[in-house]
Amino acid sequence: MESKGRIIKSISGFYDVLDEKSHELVRTRARGNFRKRGIKPIVGDFAEYDASGDLGYLLEILPRENSLVRPPIANVDQAIVVTSAVEPKFSSNLLDKILVNIEHNGIKPLIYLTKTDLLSDDSYRELKNTLSGYNEAGYVVFDEVDSYSTSQIDRLESHFADKVTVFTGQSGAGKSTLLNHINPDLKLATAAISQTLNRGKHTTRQVSLFEIADGLVADTPGFSSLELIDIDKEELPTLFPEFVKYSPECQFRGCHHVNEPGCKVKEMLASGKIMQSRYDNYLYFLNEINSYKKRY
């Protein structure tokens, strides 16, 4: 009997599929011809499968909306960008680079600030003011003074329903801690991986999706891919939501918002509606992209 579902776990050649109708978990194997056809099912894939025997079989992997390489996961809806206030120090350049990469993958980013308890009141107010600019630009921001308060975790979970959510951010920003506040069961995953690594084995950590707050959450702390190498200078301005908002009013179509006349983005920058740091980082990335092009 043919059914449809989503792969939420893969273990040495077996794929656990969450059936879209019955919501039951079915263990399957991939058809032999998948390898010949160069198809590798990954967690997050939607699949057609046959569950008539003791063990189900994957028949077809449906087209992906998007996919990440590390961790290997498909059809991601949103990414929680975990950003540390200190240790590591808050960096707008790094945050903007992560946001641009996530937007480039067709994933919606949300910003989550951690380690706020280590800031003085003045530093916290200053950082909160910076983050209000991101809110203005159209991002959902979590920046309560108590990073892991019940109200903030609840607000975060209210964004999970019917979506696949991954976590990302710089090393040491507190992704695992946040995941464990959301669901203590995920602790097993973070503890197990650190022990495995300490034993010096090179194991590829399998990613799984957990059902939390009517959505699916990846248990992996973070994906890494911070080169702007796949992004060209035509695409870059489309990855800044506040530029997208004002660019229809620019004098020229395809305005790069650098030194073209009649640029609405630069006008909004001058009036303080667009953050100076975001615009500076945009110019910095544009420069980086141009230097890549020269190198290759």
What is the identity of the amino acid at 223?
F
115 is in an annotated binding site: yes
232 is in an annotated binding site: no
247 is in an annotated binding site: no
195 is in an annotated binding site: no
83 is in an annotated binding site: no
245 is in an annotated binding site: no
170 is in an annotated binding site: yes
Going by DSSP bridges, is the β-strand pair 14-19/25-30 parallel, antiparallel, or unpaired?
Answer: antiparallel
Rounded CA gap, 46 and 25, in Å? 14
204 is in an annotated binding site: no
45 is in an annotated binding site: no
Rounded CA gap, 132 and 262, in Å? 27
117 is in an annotated binding site: yes
163 is in an annotated binding site: no
Contact 164, 209 (CB under 8 A): yes
191 is in an annotated binding site: no
257 is in an annotated binding site: yes
With a CB cutoff of 8 Å and minimum separation 6, the contacts of 97 are 226, 228, 281, 285
175 is in an annotated binding site: yes
28 is in an annotated binding site: no
Upper half-sphere CA count for residue 110 (Cβ side, 13 Å):
18
272 is in an annotated binding site: no
Radius of gyration, alpha carbons of the chain: 21
Handedness of CA 90, 165, 207, 192 (dihedral sign): positive
30 is in an annotated binding site: no
The binding site for GTP consists of 114-117, 169-177
Annotated binding site: 114-117, 169-177, 250, 255, 257, 263
Residue positions forming the annotated binding site for Zn(2+) = 250, 255, 257, 263
